[in-house]
Chains A and B, each alone.
Chain A
Amino acid sequence: MSQTIEVAGVSLEIEDRGTGRPLLFLHAGEGLQPERPWIEILARRHRVIAPSHPGFGGSALPDWFGSVDDIAYLYLDLIRTMGLQDVLLVGACFGGWIAAEMAVRNTARISSLALVAPLGIKVGGHLDRDIADMHSMSRAAFMQKAWCDPARGEVDYTLLPDAALAGIARGRESLALFGWKPYMHNPRLRRWLHRIDIPTKLIWGDSDGIVSTAYAEGWRQEIAGATLQVVPNAGHYPHWEQPEAFSAALETGA
C-alpha cells in the first residue's frame, strides 16, 4: 500500500515494501506502475522505497516546483528525512536523470548507483537526436520504440478508474514540465558526472528504441569504473519487461 510523506513542503506518495538494504527507486517518465510485478521482485532482497515524482500519480506539484534540480534536492532530503543509509539508488529513464543529478551533488548516504536507460545528458552534435522525441510520435509508434514486445506494455485505459487516468494525465504533463526544453536532458550534466564517486552500473534493454547503447557508452565514459549490463528481450523499461532478469542484473557484482 502506498503512503504519504511530506518532504520540504512537498507531499509525496511512496511505495515502501520489503526489508533489507534500502533501494530508492526513481521511476520512468511513464510513471511508477506499482501494479506490475517488478517491485515485489526487488522487494525480495531490499526495502524498496519508490516515490511518485512530484506531479505524478498521487504526489503533489507545488507551484514553485518545476525543475529536475528541484526533484534531486527533494529526494536527497527524502533520504535524510527517512534516516536511510547505504542506499542503492536506482533510476529508470527520466528517473535515471534525477538519480544522476542527485549523485553529482551528494553521495554521503548513497553507496551504489544503477542507471537504467537513463535520459539526462547530451552526447552527440546539434543534429544528433540522442534521445528519441517521444512527444513527436503517435502512441503506437512510441510503444514500438519503447518496448521489445509492445503487447507487454499495453494498458487498456477504458478499464481504469478516473483517478488513475487523472494520475496518468498529470504525470504526462509533469514530464513535459521537467523535460520539454532542452529535451529530456541537462546540457551541463555530462561535465559533472566525474563527481560520481560510488560504484555505478548502467543497465540497458537490448531493444531500447528511446536511448541506444551508443548513448549508454557516452555515460560509461564519464563515470569512473561504470559498467554496462544489457538485458535481453527488453526495450526501454527492462524492469517492467524482464523483471527477473532486471533484478539479476542489479544484483550482479553488487
Chain B
Amino acid sequence: MRTWYFSEMAYHPAWKEGIDRGSLRVNFPNQAVDPVEAGKLLNRYLDEFRLCDEVGIDIMVNEHHSTATCMTVSVPMALAVIARETKRSRLLTLGNPIANRPDPVRVAEEMAWLDCLSGGRLEMGLVKGAPYEIAPANSNPARLMRRYWEAHDLILKALSTHDGPFSWEGEYYHYRNVNIWPRPIQQPHPPVWMTGMSVDTGILAAERGHVVGTLLSGGLAKPMYQAYRKRARELGWEAGPDRFAYAAIIGVGHTREEGYRRADQIADYVRTAPLVYEGFTNPPGYNSVGANVAILKNGPRANRIVTDRHGEQIDHRKATVEQFMDTETVFAGTPDDVFNQLKAFNTRMGGVGHLLFFGQGGFMSHQDAMSNITLFGKEVAPRLLELGVPEAAAAE
C-alpha cells in the first residue's frame, strides 16, 4: 500500500461564519476571505506538501471551487509549485473535473507540461466532481457522464498522439488541429485514475484498467472493488491492489490521545463538506433516476447518512472520531494503532494498493500537520508498503 498525502488547503478562518449561514460553498460571499491571510495559509500548506518528499510519501492534490473548505482552485497550478519543490514523490491529480472543463485539450496540455516538469512523476485523475461543483462551473448536470467520457477519450488521444494534428468532431467537443506541445514523458500517457462510489464505476474503470479510488466509506468501497475485480477477470486479467485507492482521514500521534485529537481536527473536513445550501446539493441529472427516487421519498438529508461496519446509521455532520472509525472514514492513534487498523482494513477490502492520506484539515496547526506527516511517513508508510493482497482475498 503506497501513501499519498493530501490536504484541501482550507480557509478555515471563515468556517464559523459559513456554518452560521448554513452554507460554506457557492453562495457564501467571498468578503469573508482576508486575501492576505489566504496567501499565508497557501504558503504554509505548500510547505506541508514539500515535507512529504522529504519523508518519502507521494502527493495528491484535488480542487474545489467557490468554497471555504478548499482553496485549491486548480490542480495543475498547485502541482506546478509542488513539482518544483519535490524530487521523488509521485504527483497525483485527483482530480481534474473534466466534465466541468470546457476545453479538454487544455487539460491534456497542462498534464503533459506537468509530466515534463516533474520528470515523469505525474499520475492523472480524471473525475466527475462533486454535485456542488456544478454551480460554480455552470456545467450541465444532465448527461454529465456522457460529456465526461468524451473528454476522457479526447484527453488520452491528445496525450498519446505523436503524428498530429488530428481532428475531433464529437457531441460536445470540436477541434480541427489537436497537436499538444510538449508531449508527456510517460507514454502512451501518465497513469489514469478515476473516483467513484458505485459498482457501475468499478466496472467502467476495470474496462479501461484505470486505478479507481473512493472516499471515506469502506461500506461503499468494497462492492466497487469487487465489481472491478470481477469485470477484470471476465476480460482476462487479474486486478491487483495497485488498481484500488482509498481516501481516509488519519491522525497519528506519539500517544493514542494525540492521534485521536489530530484525527478529530481533520474530521472537521467531513463534518463541513456537506454544509451547502440545499439548492446546490443535487443538481438534476447528477444522480441516477433510482437515487433521485430514493431522495424524493426520504428527503435530501438521506444523502448525508452512511452506514458503518455494524449496520448503524451515521450522520457525517455530527459524528465523533470513534463513529468515523466505524465507517472506516478515520484511522487514528499511535503509529502501531494506525498500522494495525489499516492492515485489518486492507484484509477486509481484499487488498488496497493506494492510501489517500487526508493528513491536514481545518484548524489543525502547522506543527501538528508537520508532525502528523512525519510520523506517518517514517513509522507507518514504510510498513504499509509490505501489505499486498491479504491471504483470505488471494484465496477468493
Residues of A within 8 A of B (CB): 66, 135-139, 141, 157-158, 160, 162, 165-166, 168-170, 172-177, 180-181
Contacts and interface: CB of A to CB of B under 8 A. Distances in A.
B293 A177 contact: no
Given A136-B26, A180-B142, A181-B140, 5 more contacts: A138-B279, A169-B292, A172-B285, A172-B292, A177-B140
Given A139-B278, A157-B297, A176-B284, A169 B141 contact: no
B140 A137 contact: no
Given A137-B279, A173-B284, A66 B289 contact: no
Nearest to A55: B142
Contact of A169 (B135, B140, B279, B293): B293
Contacts of A135: 279, 283-284
Minimum-distance CB pairs A-B, first 8:
A177-B142, A169-B292, A172-B284, A173-B285, A138-B278, A180-B140, A176-B142, A157-B296
B142 A166 contact: no
B283 A162 contact: no
B289 A166 contact: yes
Chain B interface secondary structure, helix, strand, loop or mixed?
A: loop
B296 A165 contact: yes
A137 B27 CA distance: 10
Interface of B: 26-27, 135, 138-143, 277-280, 283-285, 289-290, 292-293, 296-297
B297 A165 contact: yes
Contact of A176 (B26, B278, B283): B283
Given A138-B279, A139-B278, A176-B283, A170 B141 contact: no
Max chain A Cβ within 10 angstroms of own Cβ: one of B277, B290, B293: B293
A160 to B, nearest CB: 8
Contact of B143 (A137, A166, A172, A177): A177
B27 A136 contact: yes
Contacts of B280: 136
A141 B27 CA distance: 15
B289 A169 contact: yes
A218 B173 CA distance: 34
